[in-house]
Amino acid sequence: MSRWFVAGVLLLTACADDEPSLPYASAVVSFTPGDGAGYGQSEMPGIVLGPPVSKGPSSGSLDVLSLGVGGEIILDLGVTVVDGPGADIIVFENAFTPRSAPDTVFAEYGEVAVSLDGDTWSVFACNPPDDTETCAGWHPVNAFDPEDVIPLDPSVTGGDPFDLSALGVEKTRFLRIRDKSDAGVAPSAGFDLDAVGFVQ
């Protein structure tokens, strides 16, 4: 793994060598922490690669990277993902339903964008608090065995599904997430990324 800083941007190259066949992001291209970030950075990049770690919708995960307010991360999916029927990508955040309020979801929103070359981006609309349908960060993650759920199915895994056809995009390889919060407490402010998967 290589790691260096350029103008405050943490750049990394790393692969999820332990589980190369699983349909999840395999490398971090760049990470730009926002205000209040810090949680999970000591475990970078592995903490956001491979499958999500979850005990179910009512249990928040600690296996996450907090982006901070306005923070941004770019991931390499490791393969070219082609648009197919239904969801093509699933983003797994730390959204959960508190046991004391099972009808509510603790959500932290992130804007998702995709790119084939890492330079030109197509962006899913995300303008909380009103326009959140195509944001990431508001569907809890289910407990599941990553070895058994291939291809990925959001009805089984939970997480936030994204369909490339909604953007008129035929294929992608890179995914960018930008935190959309306006306040937060260090070191866990902002979007808490667990994993990104793709439907093969």
Taking the C-alpha atoms of residue 118 and residue 101, their distance in angstroms, rounded to an integer, is 40
User: Given this model, what pLDDT does residue 9 score?
Assistant: 53
> What pLDDT does residue 106 have?
78
Enter the pTM of the model.
0.89
Chain centroid to CA 42: 18
Per-residue pLDDT tens listing for the chain (200 residues): 334 333 345 555 454 444 458 999 999 999 999 999 999 999 999 999 999 998 888 777 889 999 999 999 999 999 999 999 999 999 999 887 766 666 667 789 999 999 999 999 999 999 998 888 899 999 999 999 999 999 999 999 999 999 999 999 999 999 999 999 999 999 999 999 999 999 98
The pLDDT score that the predictor gives to residue 100 is: 66
Q: Cβ(45)–Cβ(14) under 8 Å?
A: yes
CB 126 within 8 A of CB 135: yes
Distance CA 150, CA 153 (A): 8
Contact 45, 27 (CB under 8 A): yes
pLDDT at 155: 96
